[in-house]
Amino acid sequence: MDPCGHLFCDECIREWLKTKDTCPVSRMKIMISQLNNPPHMVTNMLDKLQVKCPACKLVIKRGTWDHHQKKVCQIPCSLGCSAILTRETIDAHLINDCPCRLVKCPSSDIGCTAQDTFENISKHAEACKFNQMRDVVSSLLSKINNLTNHIQQQNTCIEQLLKPTIILSHDQEVCCLTTLHDNRLVSGGAAITAWDVDTRNREVFAFKSLVTTLFTLYDGRLVGGTFGGDLHLWDANDGTHVGSLFGHTCIVKALSTLGDGRLISGGYDKFMCIWDLEAGTHNKIRSGHNGSVLTIIPILNSLSFATGGEDGTIRVWASTFHCEVTLLGHTRSVTSLATTPLGDLLISGSKDHTIRVWNLSSFTCVKVLCGHTKGVSSLSMLDDERIVSGGMDKTIRIWDIHSGVCIKVLTGHSAGINSMVTLQDGRLASASDDNTIRVWGVKDL
């Protein structure tokens, strides 16, 4: 309806106003924006008019037109099959059911571009050369996919190889390192700092005591031993302090978990503590070492574990906390222990400048690795074949564990190495008394 009150067909009046600017009856100037719907009384009267459907020829009331078009009126399939359907169902028929619809050859996944009607495509498939060569083509496509994946892996390796050595500076010496489940590096000493190695972004945890050792638990929490003998736990996601454990009387130097997930700690008080973290309680066990407990490591594929002490001995413990055997050979403190991925060899580093490789079946020393000119302070497995050692002689040495040969010597630190850890991407991080952490690229190793 226009401003004059005249009623027109919507399509007609809009077409009229494309070339003219007046009402067709009164010639009064009007615009499309001034058009309105007619009153309900008028539309109700119009809806009672009888109209004939041009498709099915049925005479219906105008008010039921939309319902008739969707639900009642049936039309033949536009592709030529014999089906007659309502407009509401015709689209689904054309896509899914019509025998005259165009479909791709079943071998389109391996390169055939042919199309035919649904009822004829089976005849094409029988003669399709791609279908006849499916096994060969599938095999070639599989090889191409494998090669593509291999190239992507090699590109990732190249990216790692090109990463340079990264130096992370601290205000004081760095005593210990560990990694979190999200691959951040955590350093301990006068402060606890979580690092994103590549961006060098860091988060400093609010804590004042000197941290002497760090360990990441299975549930992602961070636990640290202190100079005063206390253990503390943090939520590694936000650095929130979530608990304290009291059991040792002086410096805690060793932290690890047993095969059943329980936390074990050792320190300068010559004792080991087995912790129930939920209850905050512990069992205190005399270590048997004639001096401090400096390192603890679980024996893979078992509930047993090994300890290294200031007295130069290595003690291998059963799950009952009974010492099964004492390994003798080092002449000074055993500072670090590691095991091979298969759990068949135990490696020990000592202040006597040597590294010893022990067979865990016979409990015998099978190799002595010599090269450091001062005490060995830290060990870390790089992979199945190589172990890396850090010493107070400021060097890091990479060894072939089976031949006992020193493959490479890394230099750069200006003071002794205190701790090392292998990152998830294969790089190595080393902490030193020179107030730095060096993250060595894969190319350096």
* pLDDT over 70 (residue 180): yes
Task: Tell me the C-alpha distance between 5 and 24, whole Å.
Answer: 12
Percent of the chain with pLDDT strictly greater than 70: 98
Task: Tell me the C-alpha distance between 296 and 201, whole Å.
Answer: 31
Higher pLDDT, residue 17 or 358: 358
Task: Tell me the C-alpha distance between 196 and 184, whole Å.
Answer: 5
Q: May I ask the CATH class of domain 163-444?
A: mainly beta
- 264 near 250, Cβ under 8 Å? no
Which residues does residue 267 pair with via DSSP β-bridges, in sequence order? 252
pLDDT of the residue at 164: 60
Q: How confident is the model at residue 443 (pLDDT cuts 50, 70, 90)?
A: low
Higher pLDDT, residue 337 or 54: 337
- 39 near 31, Cβ under 8 Å? no
Percent of the chain with pLDDT strictly greater than 90: 48
Lowest average pLDDT, out of 126-130, 160-164, 340-344, 398-402, goes to 160-164
* pLDDT over 80 (residue 162): no
Task: Tell me the C-alpha distance between 397 and 411, whole Å.
Answer: 9
pLDDT of the residue at 160: 61
* pLDDT over 90 (residue 269): yes
Question: pTM value?
Answer: 0.64
What would the mean pLDDT of 349-372 be, rounded to a whole number? Answer: 96
Q: How confident is the model at residue 40 (pLDDT cuts 50, 70, 90)?
A: confident
| Amino acid, single-letter form, for residue 187 | S
* pLDDT over 70 (residue 80): yes
- 180 near 220, Cβ under 8 Å? yes
pLDDT of the residue at 163: 59
pLDDT in tens, 108-152: 888 889 998 888 888 888 888 888 888 888 888 889 999 999 888
| Amino acid, single-letter form, for residue 61 | K
The pLDDT mean for the chain works out to: 89
Lowest average pLDDT, out of 216-220, 333-337, 438-442, goes to 438-442
CA distances (Å), 189 to each of 172, 201, 268, 419, in order? 8, 18, 17, 11
Residue whose C-alpha is closest to residue 315's, from 340, 284, 348, 283: 348
